[in-house]
Amino acid sequence: MKETVPVRKIVIAGALGAVSIVLFLTKLGFISWIQGISLTVMHVPVIIGAVIEGPLVGGAIGLIFGVTSLIQAATAPNGPGDVFFVNPLVSVAPRILVGVAAWAVYAPFRGKLPAISLPLAGVVGSLTNSVLVLGALVALKALPLPAAAGIVLSNGLIEAVVAAVLTTAVVTAWKGIASKGGVSRVSKEG
């Protein structure tokens, strides 16, 4: 068996996958703004992974996160809409594509103009999530088209802005640390 995936890609996929699992399970990944409706930021680690390490890592994080939400929806659903996520077409496939889409808009910049490329990756990644998840629900006839379009326009657009802000903040912070040559910091805390 020959494999050429660098260790860094594997480890970063694992670590960011764990972040999205934790945000999901602790419910800290949800920001509720109107009773019963919440914004989600759990797909942001997927976007960050895609931006830092490419589509393979983004896709892997999306897969890990998607499967977690699938299992959670099946064994312990606790929010409106959770039921839909038992279907992998709703919970897994869109999340894998979030990473791929975010990378696809970020890659052409080749790391230049981070003030534009990072928010753009956040917006596109986030909208991919909303549109594909709700699109899958419409395709499965779980939700009529007008209702789905309404959710994309209300929640989806705000989520996209939030994702853009968080992606930019994390990636610039991380790139700043990396470029100063002090990448592993926890080890120096003794």
Partner 1 sequence: MKSIEFFRNVSIGQYMDTRSPVHALTPITKYLGLLALAVPILASVSWPGVALSFAAALAVSLAARIPVGFLLRGVKPAIPILVFTAVLQVVFAWPGDASAKLLSAGPVVVTAMEVRLAAMTSARMVALMAVIALFTSVTTERETAYGIEDFFAPLARIGFPAHALALAVAMSFRFVPIIAGELEAIVRAQASRGGDFGASGSGPIRKARAYAPLFVPVVVRALERAEILVEAMESRRYSGANRTRYATFKMAEGEILVRLSVAALGVAGTFVGIRFR
Please report how close the Cβ of residue 157 comes to partner 1 at its closest, in angstroms.
10
Least gap, CB of 161 to partner 1 (angstroms): 6
- Amino acid identity of residue 56, one-letter, is L
* Residue 108 vs 186, nearer CB to partner 1: 186
Q: Please, what is the minimum distance in Å from the beta carbon of residue 102 to partner 1?
A: 15
- 95 Cβ contact partners less than 8 Å away, ≥ 6 residues apart: 43, 46, 62, 63, 65, 66, 69, 129
Task: Give the nearer residue to partner 1 in terms of CB position, either 113 or 178.
Answer: 178
Cα 37 to Cα 49: distance, rounded to the nearest angstrom = 27
Beta carbon nearer to partner 1, 63 or 123: 63
Query: What letter would DSSP give residue 30?
Result: E
List Cα–Cα distances, 68 to 8, 74, 75, in angstroms.
23, 10, 11
In contact, 168 and 119? CB cutoff 8 Å: yes
Q: Which is nearer to partner 1, 115 or 186 (CB)?
A: 186
